[in-house]
Amino acid sequence: MNQQATEFAHKTVLLDAAVDGLNLTGDRVHGTYIDGTFGRGGHSRLILSQLSDRGRLIAFDKDPQAIACANQIQDSRFRIIHDSFASVCSSLRELGINRVDGILLDLGISSPQVDDAVRGFSFRSDGPLDMRMDTTRGISAADWLATESEEKIREVIKEYGEERFAFQIAKAIIACRQVEPITRTRQLAQIVANAVKTREKGKDPATRTFQAVRIHINQELEDLKTGLNAGLSLLDYQGRFSVISFHSLEDRIVKQFFASNSSVIQPDRRLPIRAVDLPQPPLKLIERIKPSDAEVSANPRARSAILRISERTQGEVR
């Protein structure tokens, strides 16, 4: 392993639990699976180790560095696609695949992305204010902050960062960019620190703003919603969804999606319909798992992780 790979090593959170959630047993080891967020390949490699020679794994990632890592896997059963998981339907159609046996998503950003100052995701070390997961396309955080309206910046910070000082932060950003361009992570962090008068214990005042801008720049929540719906349309009977989220906005979307697609639609009580005749939901909930104390101790970034697992039924997709 080279020096940079060692420096930015990634510990895969809930590795065994997420792959176990796919239920790779019996004939299912011959199936086709999706790793929608390859990262540095921890989940993909474990899935491949459990698949038979007839099994197949298609992975997705937007990050060119993740793609470079995936290209090191020399396995005829494996394919990496440089795109968001939101494109899963069209991407699989091009491969002649219309059904899959399991989907794993590990949401958010990886340790290498956070730890590499050049990527601009973190305020803990100074770097260019980029924040793009896919550095080959899209607009950087610096360019967005340089051109966006105060109203939109405030809306993004409030909605995606759940930041109660969004008004003050947006106003400060507009005032500062009129003096000089905001191009560095420490620069933005200082602007936020000056605007936020009350700080949460143990949390940098820039945490929520950086989260919000990153989510917006990468369309993370929009991609998640699109990907969940697309994944459900592809899942075969008894196929599993295994989804790890790291903050409340992601988990809320996953939780609500699983819940709404696992609940039986209740008819008018006055109608003579038997429970057995009601249309069945397309999913059933399997399990909700949080990291053990030992995993959190070994990897503090696992603290906020939640794994939710659901299974495809024979019910019609709504």
pLDDT in tens, 218-241: 999 999 999 999 999 999 999 999
Question: What pLDDT does 267 receive?
Answer: 54
Question: What pLDDT does 123 receive?
Answer: 81
Q: Could you list the residues known to form a binding site for S-adenosyl-L-methionine, using ranges.
A: 41-43, 61, 85, 106, 113
Asked whether the predicted pLDDT for residue 136 surpasses 60, the reply is yes
Q: What percent of the chain has pLDDT over 90?
A: 77
Asked whether the predicted pLDDT for residue 311 surpasses 80, the reply is yes
Smallest Cα–Cα separation from 18: which of 107, 105, 110? 105
pLDDT band, very low/low/confident/very high, at 10 (cuts 50, 70, 90): low
- For β-strands 78-82 and 235-245, DSSP reports them as unpaired
Q: Which CATH architecture has domain 135-217?
A: Orthogonal Bundle (1.10)
Question: What pLDDT does 46 receive?
Answer: 97
Asked whether the predicted pLDDT for residue 61 surpasses 70, the reply is yes
Q: Are 125 and 264 in contact (CB under 8 A)?
A: no
Question: What pLDDT does 192 receive?
Answer: 96
Query: Does the domain formed by 3-111+220-312 have CATH 3.40.50.720?
Result: no
Asked whether the predicted pLDDT for residue 289 surpasses 90, the reply is yes
Q: Do domains 3-111+220-312 and 135-217 have the same CATH topology?
A: no
Question: What pLDDT does 113 receive?
Answer: 76
Q: Give the number of residues written for the chain.
A: 318
pLDDT band, very low/low/confident/very high, at 280 (cuts 50, 70, 90): confident
Q: What is the dihedral of CA 187, 220, 248, 129, to 10 degrees?
A: -10
Q: Are 144 and 281 in contact (CB under 8 A)?
A: no
Question: What pLDDT does 266 receive?
Answer: 58
Question: What pLDDT does 174 receive?
Answer: 98
Per residue, what are the HEC states of the chain? CCHHHHHCCCCCCCHHHHHHCCCCCHHHHHCEEEECCCCCCHHHHHHHHHCCCCCEEEEEECCHHHHHHHCCCCCCCEEEEEECHHHHHHHHHHCCCCCEEEEEEECCCCHHHHHCHHHCCCCCCCCECCCCCCCCCCCCHHHHHHHCCHHHHHHHHHHHHCCCCHHHHHHHHHHHHCCCCCCEHHHHHHHHHHHCCCCCCCCCCCHHHHHHHHHHHCCHHHHHHHHHHHHHHHEEEEEEEEEEECCHHHHHHHHHHHHHCCCCCCCCCCCCCCHHHCCCCCEEEEEEECCCHHHHHHCHHHCCCEEEEEEECCCCCC
Would you list the domain boundaries of the chain?
Answer: 3-111+220-312, 135-217
Question: What pLDDT does 5 receive?
Answer: 39
When the pLDDT of each residue in the chain is averaged and rounded to a whole number, the result is: 91
Question: What pLDDT does 87 receive?
Answer: 96
Asked whether the predicted pLDDT for residue 271 surpasses 60, the reply is no
pTM above 0.85, yes or no: yes
Q: How many Å is the maximal CA-CA distance in the chain?
A: 70
- Could you report the per-residue pLDDT of 170-205, keeping only the tens digit for each? 999 999 999 999 999 999 999 999 999 777 777 889
Asked whether the predicted pLDDT for residue 149 surpasses 60, the reply is yes
Burial of 265 (0-12, 13-18, 19+ CB in 10 A): exposed
Question: What pLDDT does 278 receive?
Answer: 65
Name the packing angle between helices 150-161 and 207-217 (round to 10°): 110
Rounded to an integer, the average pLDDT of 277-299 is 90
pLDDT band, very low/low/confident/very high, at 274 (cuts 50, 70, 90): low
Question: What pLDDT does 8 receive?
Answer: 43
Asked whether the predicted pLDDT for residue 146 surpasses 50, the reply is yes
Q: Could you list the residues known to form a binding site, using ranges.
A: 41-43, 61, 85, 106, 113
Rounded to an integer, the average pLDDT of 270-283 is 69
